Amino acid sequence: MKTVLLAVLLLESIVHSAHAGPLDGAVAKLEEINTMRESLAATLENDKNPITEETFKRVCAPVGQALKSWADAEGYVARQLSEKYRNPKNKAEGHDLEIAKEFARKKDRMYIVEQVGDTMQIYRRINVQTSCLRCHGDSKTAPEFIKNKYPKDLANGFAPGALRGIYSVRLKR
């Protein structure tokens, strides 16, 4: 039993060493992108103006653009996914959905990292900020452009601190 445990620990150490640079860099970048998301969302806290599509372009869209730009530059595949999605392209399915449910069960868990062959998959939780509730709170009070553009919107009914979704990043060695 001790030999098996030692082998597992050694293997984990080797896997971590092989990916420490890319993993550490990806985690740092995800933290940077999420901090940007929280900072942009915070600009809405005292803003009493109606939320418009222009607000979305200024507050939410830059996060997805930053994630895509970084992933493309590094040769990674990155997405924002959710069980309660607004855009069907961001629907968490299959294993990604199971990961999202795991984050929902374990509210203090920020990351899940999986290694399959030469691919490392990093997942990071996305929590709802209070200012996010203007678009992700009660569906009855959602901005008109959201109701019109996303008639099958599921991305509402959240509370502050709830799991909004996940960042999913695939790194190849």
pLDDT tier at 20, thresholds 50, 70, 90? low
What tens digit of pLDDT does each residue of 92-124 get?
999 999 999 999 999 999 999 999 899 999 999
Residues 122 and 30: their CA atoms lie apart, in Å, by 10
What is the pLDDT averaged over residues 141-155?
95
pLDDT tier at 7, thresholds 50, 70, 90? very low
Question: Which range is least confidently modeled, 14-18, 68-72, 114-118, 138-142?
Answer: 14-18
Residues 138 and 156: their CA atoms lie apart, in Å, by 6
List the domain boundaries for the chain: 2-172
Question: Mean pLDDT for the chain?
Answer: 89
Is a pLDDT exceeding 60 seen at residue 15?
A: no
Residues 86 and 92: their CA atoms lie apart, in Å, by 11
Specify the pTM. Answer: 0.84
Residues 36 and 47: their CA atoms lie apart, in Å, by 18
Q: What pLDDT does residue 4 have?
A: 34
